[in-house]
Each structure stands twice: as structure tokens, then as C-alpha cells.
A and B are shown apart, each in its own frame.
Chain A
Amino acid sequence: MYEVFEHTADLGLRIHAATLEDLCADAARGLGAVITGDLEQIRPSAEERFHIAGTDPVWLLYDFISEVHAAFEIRRMLFCDFQVSRDADGLNAIAHGEPYDPAVHTLAHEVKAITQHELDVRHDAVGWHATVIVDI
């Protein structure tokens, strides 16, 4: 799950999940919700794959959602669903969504970037938790 929290000029995402893989998937969905305001309007008609090399959970999550953001900025792809797995090399994700179509989709925010301010990924007895602030 993710929640959007208050930040004076920008928007923050707090994410909680049982596994690091689900944490990354929910963070990417949270980003999509900030951009579009409503993930329900995105149909899972196309598929894209992402690979993020590395082992540090902080940078796996940060690099993954940065790539998902870049997919929108560069190829205008919007995603609503992510299946994330890990192997020894890093993180793999299969994303489902569709290209942005002004006739179909509304956009709520221009996300300039995923910031590293107070970027945090933690693991405790309950599960995994992350904080990410995006620049609006």
C-alpha cells in the first residue's frame, strides 16, 4: 500500500509492503497515481520490462521508480500494474499499461523528478517501508 503525505511544495509517498518486491511495485503505482490522479483510467494493454542492477534496497527502489518515471517522460507510457521479482543481479519488473492518450487519460501533476531528499527504505518485523518525495 502507499499513501501520499504532505510536503509544502512537492508530494511525498510512504509505502508499506510485506516484501521489497511489493514495496517497489506499490511505489511505482503510487507514482502513477500522483501523475494521473487515478490509476483506474489506465488499461493494461501493453507490456514493458525493466531491469535494475544492484543490491542496495534504497537504490533498487529509487532507480526503479526513476525508470518508470522516465518511461512516461520519454515514451509517454503510463502503467497501472507491476510484477516485480529479484535475482542475484538486481530487480526485474513486468509493467502493464498503455501510452498516454489525451482523449482517454487526464494528468494531475507534472512530476519533475524522484528526489533523494529523506529517501528511505527500511525493513522491520512487520515488513518493508519506504519514503520517497517527488518534485512537482
Chain B
Amino acid sequence: MTKPLSSLTQASERSFTGPLEPVDDCTWRIPKSYKRGMLVDGLIFADERLIPLLRSDRAPEQVANVAFLPGIQQASLAMPDIHWGYGFCIGGVCATDPAAGGVVSPGGVGYDINCGVRLVRTNLTLADVQPVLTQLVDQMIHDIPVGVGQGGNFVFSPDELRSLMREGVPFLARQGLATADDIACTEAEGCIPGAYPEYVSERALVRGADQCGTVGAGNHFIEVQVVDRVENDPVAAAFGLHAGQICVLIHSGSRGLGYQVCDDALRALRDAPAKYGFNLPDRQLVCAPVESPEGKHYLGAMRAAANYAFCNRQLLMWHVRHVFARIFSRSWEALGMDLLYDVAHNMAKIEEHTVGGDRKDVCVHRKGATRAFPAGHHDIPERYRHIGQPVIIPGDMGRASWVLVGGPRALERSFGTTCHGAGRCLSRTAATKAARGRNIRDELLKQSGVVARCRSHEGLAEEQPAAYKDVDVVVDVVHRAGLSLKVARLKPLGVIKG
């Protein structure tokens, strides 16, 4: 017997009823006394408006579970776009100390290694784009591979893939598919050092062979946007943004290659908790010491997948530039289509931070969370170093997205991290149910003026604006918490999705 996809479980099964103690107006604590085995408190950045949503699923329980990870420092953290994930919550942040036996957990990165976003500027205005918007979006979905089962236009041999994973975006520059500016404006300059493509399985290579330069499905998309309002003029100017300007936001990750790297790691680490004597409350939190052979193997493969993801977004941007050039009959250079910044959402990185007054290297897991370094940090591209790192926050396809800048308190409060999006508030099944009998594509056009093109009916239904929290509220919390500060709000005009 088969039940329909809309079969629902009881709400009580999914809600969190444990302790959430207010620390200040935008921080809530799950004390480590909540569960035996928690090594540190859980700390969630949220305000009163988000608490009912926060309690509506199991994400806070996952924040508590992450506090079990050996070597965890300070607290198990979560951002205001927190929602139920697998192992870690989405929006989770955890730093471990390798020198103190700290672990790396593939579940703290997720299947979509280096899922992230990049924002491309243009010198076009709303008046330039509005008359050709439908033509532009139709051309994008025609030319850019998007959706389940869609292979890409770029096919790499196994040897080329290994070079691409080792070198990242500079490999594409040697093929004429990236510029020096593109490299400079990508996190880690498009190449995480310490990548070991030889640790990536043949199965992962097969899955990734024709997917570099494809959007995929789920919550991934490419969106044409207009800068709706500027909140911080000097920073916006330094980022090359002004009201009425057209930008393009690209959201994708490491595709099947990254998913397989994570899957392989979980399999390889299956016996690690017993071997190292770890007490973990969820299989998906499986982990190994950063300095162990298993930990080094995972990090080497993860970095290779991360570099693949930077290249994926680079090739997608390449497609976008050429679609614009075709529609506007000008070169992408003449259209000013420069990369503002590319930033990762799902990553484990060794970074130097101050913990308890000491400077130390820690392994920062960001799972659906964005690095947000403040002004002066040496890892920020030179052109933005005096201002702070650009942070790009996609919202939903009906309301808004944001550009923020790394905040003054991010290093002290969250290992230099902020939110990564609006965060889901409706499950996929509930969103599908809510979309029955409606035409989401027509609604988007009529209510928000957004031209949406999606390969599958499920994609639009599950990703409709109502499935997400209000990104303005989420961004308001990280702004008030000092994690990242508001720079500019962008409104969607056209979107392609799987």
C-alpha cells in the first residue's frame, strides 16, 4: 500500500519542548545540563518573533546534540535561519580544537559541500531590464542547465576533474573561463588549500563529470534582482552597489560529486565512534579527530569538493554573462558584469580564532551559515579589507535578498559567522499541500512581478515564498547581534530553478 506524498505526522513529534533561556534580546541558551553528554551550552541567535518557529521543529534538539562533539569550543551555535537538518541543524556552527582531540564531522558540513552564493553586479538599471525581462529569463532557462537529471555543457575527464579540484577557479582561468578579478572576489580565492582529489572516489568523479556548471534542484536557483534600497551608503559604494542597479544571484554547490564525497566519508567513518570511544546521540554526527588519518582523509576530499563547487558557480556565472551579452547585444565586460563576491555556506575550515583569551587554530564547521569576517581581517580580499567581508543572504523568490558586511562582534560571538538565508518554516510536504489548486508561477508574476521559470511543478511549490521565514526578520537579528550589518536589500525580478 502506498500513501500519498502529503501524508503528515503529528506536530508534537516535530516540536522542541526543551529549555530556551534568554541571554539577551537576540540570543537564547540551551544549557548543557539539558542533556547528559553535552560538553558546552547551545546558543541560538534569534528574537521573540522567531521563537515559535524555532520551537516548531527539531532543530534546537540538534543544537544540543552537536554540543556532544569532542573538542567543541565555546558553544554549539545556531543562526536565526535555523531549521531541522540531518545531524547538525541548518544554520549550525561548531568550532573544535584539533590540539585538544577536536573532531571534524562530515554532518557538520553536509552533503552539499561548499553550497554557496555569488552576486554579480551589472551596470544595467531596472528600466533597461524590465522590457526584456521575460526574454532574459526564458533565455537563461534555455541556456543554463537546471533541474534534476540535467547534465552540463562542460564535461571534464577524470584527470581534468582532479586538476580542477586541486586548483579550484585558477584552473578555469587557465582555460579562459575565469578572470583574475573573479578569483580575487571568491572566498579563499576560489581554492581551499590542502585539497586531495586522490581521496575522491571514482563514483564521485562519475557523478561530477558533467555537473560542473549546472544549477541542480532543491533550493538552488539563479535570480535577476534589483537593488531595492541601500542601508549603508559608504559600504554599498565600496561594494559597487547603488539603488536601482541590476544584479544576478547564483546559488548552487558541489552537485553529485560533493554529495558522494560526504556519503563516502560517512561510510568510512561508520566505526570511528567505537574506535575513538565517542558518545554521539545521532549517527549523522559521526566524526573523527581532525588530526587522525580518517579526519585528514575527509578534509582532503572535502576541500577538493569545495573547489569543485567554486568552479561550478564560476561556470554558472560564465553562462549568465553570455546570456546577458546575447540579450543586450553587448559584451559582459561592457555590461559591467563583475563578481561582487562568492561565499560558501557549507564548509569546515581551519581558522585562527581567540578562544578563552588564547589564539588557536580551530576547525570551524558552518552548516548553512556564512563566514562574516569584519574589516581588517587578512582573509578578506584586499579591495574590501578596509570595509569588511561582503555577505550575501538569499531570501525567497517573492520577497528579498540582502547584502551585508561582516560585523564587529562576529569573531567574538560566532567564530566570524552569520546566517545564510531566510531559513525554511514550512516542510516540503506542507508547502506542496498549500500549493494545491494554485499556480505559483502566475501568483509570483501577479503579486510580486517576478518572472519564474522552473523545470518541475514540485520545485516551485516547495520553494514558494511562504515556505520561508521573512528574510528581513532574520537579517535584523544578525544585524542587532553585530554578526553582520545591513548594506543593501535586493528584490527579485526573475528566477530560474529546478
Q: Which residues of A contact B (CB under 8 A)?
A: 1-11, 29, 33-35, 37, 39, 59, 66, 70, 73-74, 76, 100, 102, 106-110, 112-119, 133, 135-136
Contacts and interface: CB of A to CB of B under 8 A. Distances in A.
A110 B14 contact: no
B149 A8 contact: no
A4 B5 contact: yes
Given A6-B9, A116-B286, A110 B429 contact: no
Interface in B429-454: 429-430
A2 B2 contact: yes
Contact of A9 (B9, B87, B266, B428): B428
A109 B59 CA distance: 23
Given A5-B9, A8-B84, A107-B456, A136 B149 contact: no
Contacts of A119: 283-284
A118 B428 contact: no
Interface string B3-14: 111111100001
A64 to B, nearest CB: 13
B265 to A, nearest CB: 11
B86 A37 contact: no
A7 B427 contact: yes
B330 interface: no
B430 A6 contact: yes
Interface of B: 1-9, 14, 57, 59, 83-87, 90, 107, 110-112, 147-149, 203, 206-207, 216-219, 256, 259-260, 262-263, 266, 270, 282-284, 286, 424-430, 456, 458, 498
Given A4-B3, A112-B259, A117-B283, A76 B86 contact: no
A98 to B, nearest CB: 14
Residue from B3, B206, B286 whose CB has the most chain A CB atoms within 10 Å: B3
B3 A2 contact: yes
Contacts of A109: 148, 217-218, 458
12 contacts: A4-B5, A4-B429, A5-B7, A109-B458, A110-B149, A110-B217, A112-B111, A112-B218, A113-B111, A117-B85, A117-B282, A135-B86
A135 B203 contact: no
Contacts of A100: 149
Contacts of A66: 263
A113 B262 contact: yes
Contact of B149 (A76, A116, A118): A76
Given A112-B259, A118-B282, A6 B206 contact: no
B84 A9 contact: yes
A1 B1 CA distance: 5
Nearest to A6: B427
B203 A70 contact: yes
Q: Is the interface of B mostly helix, strand, loop or mixed?
A: loop
A38 to B, nearest CB: 10
Nearest to A72: B149
Given A74-B206, A115-B86, A37 B5 contact: yes
Contacts of A116: 86-87, 107, 266, 282-284, 286
Nearest to A69: B263
Contact of A5 (B8, B149, B283, B426): B8
B258 to A, nearest CB: 9
B79 to A, nearest CB: 14
Contact of A110 (B90, B260, B426, B498): B498
A105 to B, nearest CB: 9
Contacts of B84: 7-9
Contacts of A35: 148
A113 B458 CA distance: 18
Nearest to B88: A117
A102 B14 CA distance: 36
Contact of A113 (B217, B259, B283): B259
Which 10 residue pairs of A and B lie closest in terms of their CB atoms, listed nearest first? A117-B86, A110-B217, A117-B284, A116-B283, A6-B427, A115-B86, A107-B148, A8-B84, A3-B3, A112-B259
Nearest to B282: A117
Nearest to A59: B270
B2 to A, nearest CB: 7
Contacts of A73: 207, 256, 260
Given A74-B206, A113-B259, A115-B284, 8 more contacts: A34-B5, A39-B2, A74-B203, A107-B149, A107-B456, A110-B218, A133-B86, A135-B110
Nearest to A66: B263
Nearest to A115: B86
A8 B427 contact: yes
A59 B271 CA distance: 12
Contacts of A108: 148, 456, 458
Contacts of A136: 217-218, 428
Nearest to A4: B5
A135 B111 contact: yes
Contacts of A107: 147-149, 456
Contacts of B14: 6
Nearest to A35: B148
Contacts of B5: 4, 33-34, 37
A11 B426 CA distance: 12
B420 to A, nearest CB: 12
Contact of B7 (A3, A112, A115): A3
A102 B151 CA distance: 12
Contacts of A33: 2, 5
Nearest to B59: A8
A106 B456 contact: yes
A4 B7 CA distance: 6
Nearest to B57: A8
Query: Which of A34, A102, A135 has the largest count of B CB atoms less than 10 A from its CB?
Result: A135
A8 to B, nearest CB: 4
